Chains A and B, each alone.
Chain A
């Protein structure tokens, strides 16, 4: 279950090919790709900087992936999260899950993403025409995580 925190961009096709290579038991691959929007809370976003807590980030993501593996019958998982400077349209995050059948992979992928949003120590700072601002956490993200409990 690779976890990669990196400044560099990634190739979605190559990552998914690697995740399921030599795994004929896989019948379903579900992936979520998060990208940078050019609008947030009514302001234009010119770019953003992503900060994280090295060490804790990897531990938090490992715990989330372990939970997903204990809840659903899935094979492999992958999380890539970029940090540093990003621009609108850039890829930020990839979560991919493989399983025998689609239902387990769909559920696990959404679960991982919902938990990542509230439990993994990343913070976004947006560059807007009104100046730089730290993004506020959304109440809807807490609600999205709570429904899995």
Chain B
């Protein structure tokens, strides 16, 4: 499955990546699976996306929870809780 990954704010800075086209294995089915898959890359991914960190995620530009299923070609974004206003 191909995904377009996006990272924002403190995550973008800590990872040094704002956008990436990724091909992921078929075993990765949900947002939570994807997070675990990225953690396997090691540092800085394992630290920035560590399970204790409170993150938000969006699938095709809609905020979703970690159990949401991925779709081929989707845009998946990870970011910290928002602080606008």
| Residues of chain A at the chain B interface (Cβ within 8 Å) | 34, 50-53, 55-56, 59-60, 81, 92-93, 113, 116-125, 134-137
Residues of A within 8 A of B58 (CB): 53, 56, 121
- 3 smallest beta-carbon distances between A and B, as pairs: A122-B84, A137-B81, A123-B9
B6 in contact (CB, < 8 A): yes
For B85, give its contact among A53, A55, A122, A134 (CB under 8 Å). A122
Q: Are B82 and A56 in contact (CB under 8 A)?
A: no
Q: Which residue of chain B is the closest to A135 with respect to CB atoms?
A: B83
* Known A53-B6, A125-B9; contact A120-B82, beta-carbon cutoff 8 A: yes
Closest Cβ of chain A to B75, distance in Å, is 9
Given the complex of chains A and B, what is the CA–CA distance between A135 and B79 in angstroms?
A: 13
For B84, give its contact among A56, A120, A136 (CB under 8 Å). A120
Q: List 29 A-B contacts (CB under 8 A).
A: A50-B84, A51-B9, A53-B79, A55-B61, A56-B77, A60-B63, A81-B84, A81-B85, A93-B85, A113-B85, A117-B85, A118-B82, A119-B63, A120-B85, A121-B8, A121-B58, A121-B79, A121-B82, A121-B84, A122-B83, A122-B84, A122-B85, A123-B79, A123-B80, A123-B84, A134-B80, A135-B83, A137-B81, A137-B82
Interface size class on chain B is: 10 to 19
B10 in contact (CB, < 8 A): yes
Q: Are B9 and A134 in contact (CB under 8 A)?
A: yes
Of A52, A92, A116, A134, most buried by chain B (CB within 10 Å of CB) is: A134
Closest Cβ of chain B to A131, distance in Å, is 13
Q: Which residue of chain B is the closest to A132 with respect to CB atoms?
A: B13
Residues of A within 8 A of B63 (CB): 60, 119
Residues of B within 8 A of A117 (CB): 82, 84-85
Closest Cβ of chain B to A1, distance in Å, is 18
Closest Cβ of chain A to B2, distance in Å, is 19
